[in-house]
Structure 1
Amino acid sequence: MSFFGDLRTVLQGSRFRRLFGTRLVSQFSDGVYQAGLAGFVFFNPEQHTGAGEVAAAFAVLLLPFSAVAPFAGVLIDRWPRRQVLLLSSLAKAVLATVTALLVANGEGPAFFVAALLVLSVNRFFLSGLSAGLPYVVPRDKLMMANAVTPTCGTVASSLGTGAGLAIGMLGGAQALGTGMVLFAAALGFAGAALVSLTLRYRELGPHLEEEPEEVRAALHNAVRGMASGVRHIWERVPARDGLLTIGGHRVLFGISTLLTMLLYNNTFTGGGVAGIAGFSVAAGLLALGFFLGAVATPWATARIGESAWIAALLAGAAVALLLFGLPFSAALFPVAAFVLGFVSQAVKVTVDTLVQRHVDDAYRGRVFSVYDVLFNATFVLGAALTAGLVPQSGVSVPVVGAMVLSYLLMGAAWTVRARRPGSRGVPIPGTPEAGAPGPGAPGSGAPKPETV
């Protein structure tokens, strides 16, 4: 089925539409807010030309809000997830208003702290969306929903960024224009809170007839809660293998992003406006790859299964780096960016579905919080590990060669997995995955998801 056909299918469910609307309004507002951040210059790693500086910028962008993930997961497994969406949206609205006021008063350091708090609170919101999705779509539509919802959210965020830039131009002076953009984002976050109220209080779970003692204890010990999430993942082999693959891929994606920025700053175009323009072309093709990867994944996994699809994607990434990356050509490098974007989103959509299918609802929030930390920390780790190995030019045949070998090894592992029973996403009878009731299953304590 096509992307738009999949979207029409899942939109037939009213419960999905309400959750989807909450996502779109919030991510549009995220885009507006990001435009405001760019206007204030704090979050623009493209201006850093050294490998160490780029890696440090990524760390500032991604790691601080990942630190709240242990608390996000524990609370998402304890609180009604509709309330998580509502309260996090309201918190972002308040914090965005604060950042707008700080910009107007020229308070740079305080603005920086407030902006990081907005990004931190967003972890609760995004984890709540992922954990609540299986409650509004049938299990056999999860792959489809995972393909269309993040992609539409990315489109909404891009449109929000464009709207934010337009608002900034209307504002004229930089401080006034940035303040207007940030306040507009605050209004959007408040709108997302209102949309979330269309969902019922317990509609997104968790539906626990009796709280496990471990969940209650985790409220007092977030680290213990994360550890229990990791143990739960480790017992669910498809989810475990998927997250390990995401971690490895994100390390490599962090390396490729660092190389791309250095190449466009120092080698392909000599930096300046031309460097940013060239990088924008590569980034545009990367985004196109994200979109097409999400579109293709439901169709591909329905025909060859999740394991074989991931194996093919990782092998494709290795080939793309060999053909379009190693020549270090300004004409070929954007093609490598497109393929890596396709692979990145396609692997993520597939792994999202594996995780949602194979973990218990009582742990789903914590599992996705582990996922968030892994997703961001491994990206920064890749950039940090490479910072001391890559020259200022960004040209490093050994580093790209190591990336090719890594993709091939991960692809080979998934090829072996694809030949095992149960590799097409159906739990094998007698395994923990098969015995774990999902939303709507007997004994799960959850209502049956609405048929779309």
Structure 2
Amino acid sequence: MSLRADLRVLWRSPGFRRLTWTRLLSQGGDGMFQVGIATAFFFDPTTATSPEQIAVGFAVLLAPFTLVGPFVGPLIDRWQRQRILLVGNLVRLVLAAGIITLVLADAPVWSLYATALLTLSVNRFLLAAMTAGLPQVVPAHQLLAANAVLPTLGTIAASVGGAIGGIATFVVPSVSDNSLAVTALICAGLAFGASSIAATRISRKELGPTHPLEKLDVGAQLRALTAELLEGERYLRARRTPWHALGVMSAQRLLYGLVFVASILASRSILADPDDAEAALGAFSIVLGFAAVGFGLAAVITPMLGDRVSRERWILICLGIGAVGQIVLATAPTAWALLTAAIIVSFAVQGGKIAVDTIVQRDTEDHVRGRAFTLYDMAYNVAFMSSAVVGGLILPDSGWSRPIMLGIAVVYVLVAIVFARTPHEVRPVPPRPVAN
């Protein structure tokens, strides 16, 4: 089926429609919130002049997600996910208002930093809750299409939100040095509030979990979280197919992260003047635009092949496509090679991710699904953060090196070989009680 046909079929489900509106508004707000962050962390010539400094920026952004995830993620299996979406976006609205207040009061930089990181951390929690709740509103045979459509629409919403935030900063008159940041944050806060309103249209039990914890004992839950997360890891490992899917996703994300860091550096040094932050950001925006084409193509083609190609085989194909993209990037440090590779590699990453999401959702029972996607988020963030660290160690200041680009292509092939040799049949896991 085509993307249009898949969306038409999925849109008939009221639950899917309500979840989609909530996600689009939430991720639109994310894009608005992040408008200034990329410039400050990665394109300011006074703060991000080398791979090492960019790696520090990635670590600061992603480390809190990884640290927060293990402690709040298991709550996805305990609390009503609809309430998580409602309250989480309200929390982000309050945090956005707090940041505006801090900016206007010229508060210390560390306070702005801490509040912004907390806001981004809540975002990861919300995305995990929406992903874990998707199987509750979509039939099992439509999960592949839903995993292609919904994240892609969310990515588009984030891009549109970023564009709206950027346009608003030019339209609104500048009355002070803080006007641009305040304008983008106001737009983000409005979107977060609208997402909370959209979440109220989802019934309280519609997104699961099937057996939520009705009475909340914070102390008892915190004592049980570590044990539950370890139990989730044991379950996925014993179940086999979700564990292997997470492994290949992590490897793919690590390789993609290396190219992402290289693209930032190349945008600064190859596509633009390193001392011109605006030109560098514009060049990187073009790279991201071409990458969005790859993501969109993956969302269209993956569901079309769903009935003819297994999820595991599609992952192998995507790994091969990723290797081809790296070979293209290794040909020359030119704009055409970078932009062509952006389409191919992004297609491979998104196509593989759609298949991985479907495997984890399909082969994980609902009472463990929240923990599964907590581990998913942890693996995702650790892999991306690790790619920044590795990139800081091996990438030149220009971001381009033929041996490194070819080496990444070889790793893609090795990952495909390893994944091809793993078992692709799910294994029953006997239930084991976890202390509450």
Q: Give your verdict on TM over 0.5.
A: yes
Deviation of residue 67 (structure 1)? 1.4
Quote the residue 1:98 is aligned against.
Answer: 98
Is this contact kept in 2: 1:36–1:178, CA < 8 A?
yes
What amino acid sits opposite 2:160 in the alignment? L
Partner of residue 418 from structure 2, selected from 409, 413, 422: 413
Quote the residue 2:241 is aligned against.
Answer: 238
What amino acid sits opposite 1:25 in the alignment? L
Q: How many residues align?
A: 421
Percent sequence identity over matched residues?
34
Q: Distance in 2 between matches of 1:175 and 1:277?
A: 21
User: 2:78 aligns to what SS in structure 1?
Assistant: coil
RMSD: 2.3
Quote the residue 2:208 is aligned against.
Answer: 205
Is this contact kept in 2: 1:251–1:381, CA < 8 A?
yes
What amino acid sits opposite 1:247 in the alignment? S
Q: Distance in 1 between matches of 2:180 and 2:324?
A: 45
Quote the residue 1:310 is aligned against.
Answer: 315
Quote the residue 1:142 is aligned against.
Answer: 143
Distance 1:45 1:225, change over 3 A: farther
Quote the residue 1:159 is aligned against.
Answer: 160
Quote the residue 1:114 is aligned against.
Answer: 115
Deviation of residue 296 (structure 1)? 1.3
Is this contact kept in 2: 1:74–1:218, CA < 8 A?
no
Deviation of residue 399 (structure 1)? 1.9
Q: Distance in 2 between matches of 1:401 and 1:383?
A: 18
Unaligned runs of 5+ in 1: 437-452
Distance 1:218 1:300, change over 3 A: farther
User: 2:92 aligns to what SS in structure 1?
Assistant: helix
Is this contact kept in 1: 2:59–2:388, CA < 8 A?
no
Quote the residue 1:168 is aligned against.
Answer: 169
Partner of residue 382 from structure 1, selected from 384, 387, 391: 387
User: 1:301 aligns to what SS in structure 2?
Assistant: coil
Q: Distance in 2 between matches of 1:350 and 1:247?
A: 13
Q: Distance in 2 between matches of 1:180 and 1:105?
A: 15
Indicate yes or no: 2:67 matched with 1:64. no
1:69-105 CA deviation, whole Å, 9 max, x = no partner? Answer: 1122211111111111111111011001111111222
User: 2:307 aligns to what SS in structure 1?
Assistant: helix
Quote the residue 1:258 is aligned against.
Answer: 261
Partner of residue 305 from structure 2, selected from 300, 307, 311: 300
Q: Distance in 1 between matches of 2:55 and 2:10?
A: 39
User: 1:328 aligns to what SS in structure 2?
Assistant: coil
Quote the residue 1:183 is aligned against.
Answer: 186
Distance 1:10 1:352, change over 3 A: same
Q: Distance in 2 between matches of 1:7 and 1:353?
A: 17
Quote the residue 1:440 is aligned against.
Answer: none
Distance 1:184 1:328, change over 3 A: closer
What amino acid sits opposite 1:366 in the alignment? R
Unaligned runs of 5+ in 2: 432-436
Distance 1:274 1:73, change over 3 A: closer
Partner of residue 335 from structure 1, selected from 334, 340, 352: 340
1:277-310 CA deviation, whole Å, 9 max, x = no partner? Answer: 4333222111111111122111123211111111
What amino acid sits opposite 1:320 in the alignment? G
What amino acid sits opposite 1:175 in the alignment? N
Q: Distance in 1 between matches of 2:187 and 2:376?
A: 31
In the TM superposition, what are the counterparts of 1:119-138 in structure 2 within 5 Å? 119-138=120-139
Deviation of residue 252 (structure 1)? 0.8
Is this contact kept in 1: 2:42–2:54, CA < 8 A?
no
What amino acid sits opposite 1:22 in the alignment? T
Structure 2 length as normaliser, TM-score? 0.90
Deviation of residue 28 (structure 1)? 1.4
What amino acid sits opposite 2:81 in the alignment? R
Is this contact kept in 1: 2:6–2:145, CA < 8 A?
yes
What amino acid sits opposite 1:153 in the alignment? G
| Farther-moved stretch of structure 1 (347-356 vs 176-185) | 176-185
Deviation of residue 145 (structure 1)? 0.6
Is this contact kept in 1: 2:78–2:213, CA < 8 A?
no
Quote the residue 1:443 is aligned against.
Answer: none
1:203-262 CA deviation, whole Å, 9 max, x = no partner? Answer: 111112899xxx997642433222222111111222111100011111111111222222
Quote the residue 1:84 is aligned against.
Answer: 84
Is this contact kept in 2: 1:100–1:180, CA < 8 A?
no
Is this contact kept in 2: 1:46–1:276, CA < 8 A?
no
Distance 1:402 1:77, change over 3 A: same
Is this contact kept in 1: 2:29–2:191, CA < 8 A?
yes
Distance 1:375 1:79, change over 3 A: same
Deviation of residue 342 (structure 1)? 0.6
Indicate yes or no: 2:252 matched with 1:249. yes
